[in-house]
Chain A
Amino acid sequence: MDSNAKRTYLIAAIFLVVAVTYIIRLFALQVIDTSYKLSATNNVVRRIVNYPARGLIYDRKGTLMVYNQAAYDVLVTPRELQPFDTLNFCNITGISKEELNEQLQKAKEYSYFKPSVIIKQLSAQRYAILQEQMYKFSGFFVQTRTLREYPQKIASHVLGYVGEVNQQMMKKDSYYETGDYAGITGIEKSYEKELRGEKGVNYLMVDVHNRIKGSFQNGRYDTTAVIGENVVTSLDAELQRYGEELMQGKAGSIVAIEPSTGEVLTLVSSPTYDPNLLVGRDRGEHYLALARDTLNPLFNRALMAQYPPGSTFKMVNALIGLQEGVLTPHMRYWCHYGYTVGNYHMNCHHDSAFALSGSIAESCNAYYAQEFRSIMENPKYRDVRQAYDTWRKYVMSFGFGRTLGTDFPNELKGFVPSSNFYEKYVFKGSRWRALPIISLAIGQGELGITPLQLANYAAILANRGYYYIPHIVKKIQNENIPTRFTERHYTDIDTTQFPKIIEGMEEVLKPGGTAAMSRIPGITMCGKTGTAQNPHGADHSVFMAFAPADHPKIAISVYVENGVWGARYAAPIASLMIEKYLTDSISSGRKWLEKRMMEANLLEPKKPKKEVPAKTETAVRSKANKPAKRDTTAPKEIAIKRDSLILQDTIH
């Protein structure tokens, strides 16, 4: 037609170019790129999580220690709200009208379509009334949650508590999501996997306003919740309660173990707190108060405090001596009010010679100083350093200076210095001699052990040479307890050596022994007193024991901070615990002792336990008598102090 007719091809070409571009783009979008499919699924599918009830916890006799209590949260979906009788609602739920309005406002600001919590943890009674009248309050509904409840109000350190998971935990275990609860300490933590059960998930389809439209693919991906398993602990609730009563007004710990199984019967860390404080609405506030308390009730002394073992350690040295052949039970060492070499003097208060059992019964320092020297200067070894390494290996075989592998979280190692440590801080290149480390003979110096390790050591002596790893679990509902708890662990000392020291330990509780006062009529008990030196204040009272002597049923360790010496507090408390456990009661002749122990108050006079002390007071005390846990945590500091320490070893 006209000259421009050909231009139609250009126009057609433009059309086609656009169309082809679009088709390519669509191909990329729909066929190649799969990420959009995922986005679409995320858009419409909501995971609704069903939380299972946490497993219950029992003591060894079946006493319920922890259970779940229902708590009721009231939620509101603002879009579904209809005018309601606010006065009535407030009366039922027990909140003020202002609070209600404020909460409703917040909920509306958050979302009109998504429910938000307006009242947390309504009591069961109020819930019952509210449930009856629920039809009047359109838009509100109640969600049930479970909270931990501790009916016995004891053993807070053992049981631990449950709290919301943090970022770290979520990173470590993909099971957890924001808002989930998990065990933070104690059994709640170590048996978290068993106790928590398995969350159930329902996938639901929702529209853009989050309204539920049905289940996703007919519930193909849904899982049902599995209830948590119940855990039976080896704890004896009665003994635990008794131990906590005895430790009132004192800082320290009691650990009791059944030697024949390694089961922990009692684990007291004092001061303690009511485990129910760390549950529910006011948890944060209570936690803060406890954390601020200078007596540190949240600190589990039984597992984490590291004190010197004091004279309780003497049997270790005796056994090493026997094993190494440098000591025989009848060998005697003299004591002249102590042990003197050159200008070094270790104090003691005898003026006689002791054989092995006597040395234990009367806790002679001089005996052990000489005995320790003979271990260190054993000609079998090239030098003292090599002897020391051997010695250390023996000591560690008793479970000192390393974690035992228990089922408690936060178990600490304690401290048995390596030869490198002494090389660096004491000998500094000079020749190794026994004298500068001689306070190890009587369990002082740089040694640090936890009360749990001391109790395990008592169990080793009770078993005459072996132990089971201490553990708190006795039975798990559907599983066996880990096999490591049912294997015997032997020390490096021959079992034949052990009976030789038992006699001495028996004599400790006999007239003339250091803890004669703590004798239990009708029960042969073996024990050993100790005093843990405390550079910050009065020494700590230490006692370890097992009973009955022949077929021991209980091995125990007691630390009483600032208790001055072993026989004063720790031994009587241990004996009362043993008597209680073996006979279920305290004989009338010993009631006075029980009373005295319970009433003894070594903490600030008349200070209420759970109050935050005034600032000045705090400052003074933290200087004066901080718990000895610090003693071994900073080796450098100790090395500087040790010279002055050695010169005044006046210990039982």
Chain B
Amino acid sequence: MILVVMGWLNIYAAVYNEDHQSILDMTQRYGKQLLWILMAAFIAITVLIIDSKFYVAFAYVFYGVVILLLIAVLFFGKEVNGARAWFEIGGFALQPAELGKFATNLAVAKYISQYNFKMHRFKSLAVLGMLIGVPALLIIAQNDTGSALVYAVFILVFYREGLSGMFLFWGFAASVLFILTLIWPEVRLVGFLIFASILAYGIVRQRMKEVAKMIGIFAAILGVVYLMNYTVRLSLSTAMILYIATGISILIFIIYGIRKRIQPVFWVVLFFVSSLALSRSVSFAYEDVLVAHQRDRIDEVLGIRSDPLGVGYNVNQSKIAIGSGGVTGKGFLKGTQTKFNFVPEQSTDFIFCTVGEEWGFLGTSTVIILFMILLIRLLILAERQRSRFSRVYGYGVAGILFFHFAINVGMTIGLVPVIGIPLPFFSYGGSSLWSFTFLLFIFLRLDASRMEILR
């Protein structure tokens, strides 16, 4: 099993290296990367040699050290591209945020694997929230929001360990609402929510007559408000008319609900009002909390604004590179987009373009399928662990890899806003390679010794 995983790794590494040689005239970077890989191999072996108990025992210690490093980097770090996230030690740059991933993962695994752990307890949730929140906030403080977002993936791990599915559902619903708020005009959004509420009510109650009555009342009120606006010349906006009509209807429905003692009415009204409030606060948060360039990137992906020479340049060139690859690609070393530096950051965040341009659709789909095999394989491995620690850790590894993969590939093909995080095992950079090596091989080590202990 280990051998198989290492085989994949080698394929990745090989593809990666050769690409690099082709992209960069500087053998320097290529050479460095080879060095990183050799060191990564060394780390891997070391990790495999060390007894698995060591990781379990020292989980919190690792975590503590990394947190300290994260704090230290804020003061002593070197600033690169606006993010104060790097230590420079004798020519090699080290990014503590990368190490944070496996350290946090270890700590989370350790905490969950405690004997008396119960997921639904408030205290447990609070501690877990702290465990992932502290490094995430520290990384945000370094001005590297992208890396901090990775910690959100632990939700999946918690879910596996008993977190209510409602969290996932509401998280998903909230993000859909978030996107709809941004791309839809107000009237359409409110209309959609009204429709969704009535639909939800209909599904819960299963009584068509009631639903029809509700629609009738709402339509009548809407008509009256609309006519009043027209005759009295209140000059209300369409959205305002809709709000007024909805407000009156809601009042009527609540009174109706109280009198008939129909509970779902309240739930649906609550759903509607909270959605509306959330959507309003989204526009506020979007305009005021996010930094301009983050907003721009989201706008670009959602198609609200298009600026292929400015904000959208990276993504546009990246899409051109990938799109021009065709089915079989231009052939190894033949990529014009990447060879002539049209895609920025192509050796790190936009490495996927090189694959797309030179190896075409076959190359890209192969990479995606390989990643999927790896991820599913990890899930299967995690599931067969006897110790809870190992299982949680395994899910953490899979989740983190998945998040990187999804965001990185997604942004190169313009499906996800540009977030500067690397593609595991592909992108240039020592810290990330080491970090993934640690992450993966600690798990493999745990897996190798799964029979030894029962925790």
A interacts with B: yes
| Cβ contact within 8 Å between A40 and B337 | yes
Cβ-defined partner of B375 (8 Å) among A2, A15, A205: A15
Check: A126 CB closer than 8 A to any chain B CB.
Answer: no
- Give the chain B neighbours of A208 by CB distance below 8 A: 340-342
Task: Determine whether the beta carbon of A18 is less than 8 Å from that of B320.
Answer: no
Q: Given A206-B340, A208-B340, is A15 in contact with B326 using a C-beta cutoff of 8 Å?
A: no
- Which residues of chain A are within 8 angstroms of B365 by Cβ–Cβ distance? 23, 26-27
**CA gap between A12 and B383 in the complex, in Å:** 12
CA A542 – CA B413 in complex, angstroms? Answer: 78
A191-220 vs B, Cβ < 8 Å mask (1 yes, 0 no) = 000000000000001111100010000000
* Of listed B319, B336, B395, residue having the most chain A CB within 10 A: B336
- For residue A175, CB closer than 8 A to chain B, the reply is no
Taking a contact as CB atoms under 8 Å apart, the answer to whether B337 and A37 are in contact is no
Tell me, yes or no, whether A44 is within 8 Å of chain B by CB. Answer: yes
Residues of B within 8 A of A43 (CB): 317, 320, 336-337, 340, 342
A11 in the interface (beta carbon within 8 A): yes
Let me know if B108 is at the binding interface, CB within 8 A.
no
Q: Provide the residues of chain B in CB contact with A26, threshold 8 Å.
A: 322, 356, 361, 364-365, 368, 413
Residue of B nearest to A210 (CB): B340
Stretch binding the partner chain, chosen from A28-36, A246-254, A622-630: A28-36
Contact in complex: B340, A207 (CB < 8 Å): yes
In the complex formed, the residue of A with least CB distance to B362 is A30
B161 touches A4 (CB 8 A): yes
Interface string of A460-493 (1 = CB under 8 A from B): 0000000000000000000000000000000000
User: A19 contacts the other chain (Cβ, under 8 Å)?
Assistant: yes
CB closest residue in chain B, given A35: B323
Contact present for B379 and A11 (CB under 8 Å): yes
Asked if B50 CB lies within 8 Å of chain A CBs, one says no
Stretch from B256-264, B402-410, B439-447 that touches the partner: B402-410
A524 to B241, CA, bound (A): 100
**A40-B320 contact given A22-B368, A26-B365, CB 8 Å threshold:** yes
Tell me the bound Cα distance from A10 to B317 in angstroms: 35
B336 touches A205 (CB 8 A): yes
Q: Which residues of B contact A31 (CB under 8 A)?
A: 326-327, 361
Q: How far is the CA of A44 from the CA of B340 in the complex (A)?
A: 8
Is A14 in contact with chain B by the CB < 8 A criterion?
Answer: yes
The secondary-structure label for the interface of chain A is helix
Interface size class of A (residues with CB under 8 A): 35 or more
Confirm or deny: A8 has a beta carbon within 8 angstroms of a beta carbon on chain B: yes
Cβ of A7 < 8 Å from any Cβ of B?
Answer: yes
Q: Closest CB of chain B to A580's CB: distance in Å?
A: 66
- The answer to whether B336 and A40 touch across the interface, beta carbons within 8 angstroms, is yes
How long is the Cα–Cα vector from A11 to B372 in the complex, in angstroms? 12
Are A7 and B160 also in contact (CB < 8 A) when A26-B322, A31-B327 are?
A: yes
Residues 379-394 of chain B: 1 if any A CB is under 8 Å from the residue's CB, otherwise 0? Answer: 1001100000000000
Q: Would you call B356 and A37 a contact (CB within 8 A)?
A: no
Q: Is A582 an interface residue (CB 8 A)?
A: no
- B383 near A27 with CB under 8 A, answer no
The listed residue (A3, A8, A10, A30) touching B323 by CB distance below 8 A is: A30
Q: Is the CB of B159 within 8 A of A44?
A: no
For B324, the chain A residues whose CB sits under 8 A away are 36-37, 39-41
Nearest-neighbor residue (CB-CB) of A18 within chain B: B406
Find the residue from B324, B327, B339, B409 having the highest chain A CB count within 10 A: B324
Given A26-B413, A29-B322, A40-B324, is A15 in contact with B360 using a C-beta cutoff of 8 Å? no
B contact face: mostly helix, strand, loop, or mixed: helix
Please pick, from A8, A22, A37, A39, the residue contacting B326 in the complex, using a CB distance under 8 A. A37
Flag if B379 contacts A8 (CB, 8 Å): yes
Chain B residues contacting A288 (CB-CB under 8 Å) are none
Q: Is the CB of B326 within 8 A of A207?
A: no
A125 at interface by CB-CB < 8 Å: no
Q: Are B159 and A36 in contact (CB under 8 A)?
A: no
Question: In the assembled complex, which residues on chain B have CB atoms less than 8 Å from the CB atom of A591?
Answer: none
Contacting residues, chain A, for B372 (C-beta < 8 A): 15-16, 19
Q: Which residues of A contact B400 (CB under 8 A)?
A: none
B430 within 8 A of A: no
Given contacts A36-B324, A37-B324, contact A12 B379 (CB under 8 A): yes
- Measured in the bound complex, the distance between the Cα atoms of B320 and A5 in whole Å is 43
Instruction: Judge whether A433 is part of the interface by a CB distance below 8 angstroms.
Output: no
Does A343 reach chain B (CB closer than 8 Å)?
Answer: no
Question: Are B336's CB and A22's CB within 8 A?
Answer: no
Tell me if B323 and A33 are in contact (CB < 8 A).
Answer: yes
Min CB–CB distance A422 → chain B (angstroms): 64
| The residue from A4, A18, A23, A44 contacting B337, defined by CB atoms under 8 A apart | A44
Query: CB-nearest residue of chain B relative to A208?
Result: B341
A-contacting residues, B30-63, CB 8 Å: none
Q: Are B415 and A25 in contact (CB under 8 A)?
A: yes
Whether B321 sits at the interface, judged by CB under 8 Å, is: yes
- Whether, in the assembled complex, A583 has its beta carbon less than 8 Å from a beta carbon of chain B, the answer is no
What is the CA–CA distance of A234 and B317 in the complex, to the nearest angstrom? 58
CB of A4 within 8 A of CB of B160, answer yes
> What residues of B have a CB within 8 angstroms of the CB of A44 in the complex?
336-337, 340, 342
Answer whether residue B255 sits at the interface, using C-beta atoms and an 8 A cutoff. Answer: no
Cβ–Cβ contact A27 & B415, under 8 A: no
B325 at the binding interface (Cβ < 8 Å)? yes
Contact with A along B196-218 (1 / 0, CB 8 A): 00000000000000000000000
- B310 located at the interface, meaning its Cβ lies under 8 Å from any Cβ of chain A in the complex: no
Q: 1/0 per residue B143-166: CB within 8 Å of A?
A: 000000000000010011110010
Q: Residue on A with the closest CB to B340?
A: A207
Docked complex Cα distance between A10 and B157 (Å): 12
Closest chain A residue to B360 by CB distance? Answer: A30
Task: Check if B266 is an interface residue, CB within 8 A of chain A.
Answer: no
Chain B residue numbers with a CB within 8 Å of A3 are 162
Residue A430 lies at the interface, judged by CB distance under 8 Å to chain B: no
Q: From A12, A19, A30, A207, give the contact of B356 (CB < 8 A).
A: A30
**Residues in A neighbouring B72, C-beta threshold 8 A:** none
**What 1/0 mask marks residues of chain B from 341 to 375 whose CB sits below 8 Å from any chain A CB?**
11000000000000011001100110011011001
Minimal beta-carbon separation of B417 from chain A (angstroms): 15
Q: Any chain B CB within 8 A of the CB of A168?
A: no
Q: How far is the CB of B353 from chain A (nearest CB, A)?
A: 11
Closest to A33 in B: B323
Cβ–Cβ < 8 Å partners of B369 in chain A = 19
B127 at the interface (CB under 8 A from A): no
**With A4-B161, A44-B340 known to touch, is A39 a contact of B409 (CB < 8 Å)?**
no
Q: How far is the CA of A206 from the CA of B336 in the complex (A)?
A: 9
In whole angstroms, what is the CA distance A205 to B340 when docked?
A: 9
User: Is the beta-carbon distance between A30 and B321 smaller than 8 angstroms?
Assistant: no
* Residue B376 CB within 8 A of the other chain: yes
| CA distance in complex: A5, B384 (Å) | 10
Residues of B with C-beta under 8 A to A206: 340
**Contact residues in B for A22 (Cβ distance below 8 Å):** 368, 406, 409-410, 413, 415
The answer to whether A36 touches B323 (Cβ under 8 A) is yes
A644 within 8 A of B: no
Known: A19-B368, A22-B409. A7 touches B159 (CB 8 A): yes
How far apart sit A23 and B361, CA to CA, in the bound complex (Å)?
9
A489 to B22, CA, bound (A): 73
With A15-B376, A30-B364, A208-B340 given, is the CB distance from A25 to B413 under 8 Å? yes
A30 near B340: Cβ-Cβ < 8 Å: no
Q: Which 6 A-B pairs have the closest CB atoms?
A: A36-B323, A207-B340, A40-B324, A30-B361, A44-B336, A208-B341
29 contacts between A and B (CB under 8 A): A3-B162, A4-B161, A11-B160, A14-B156, A15-B375, A15-B402, A18-B410, A21-B415, A22-B409, A22-B410, A25-B415, A27-B365, A29-B322, A29-B413, A30-B356, A30-B361, A33-B323, A35-B323, A36-B322, A36-B324, A37-B323, A40-B321, A40-B336, A43-B336, A43-B342, A44-B337, A44-B340, A44-B342, A208-B341
Given A29-B319, A40-B337, 19 other A-B residues pairs in contact with their CB atoms under 8 A: A8-B379, A11-B156, A11-B395, A14-B156, A15-B372, A15-B398, A16-B372, A25-B415, A26-B413, A29-B322, A30-B323, A31-B326, A31-B361, A39-B323, A40-B320, A40-B321, A40-B357, A207-B341, A208-B342
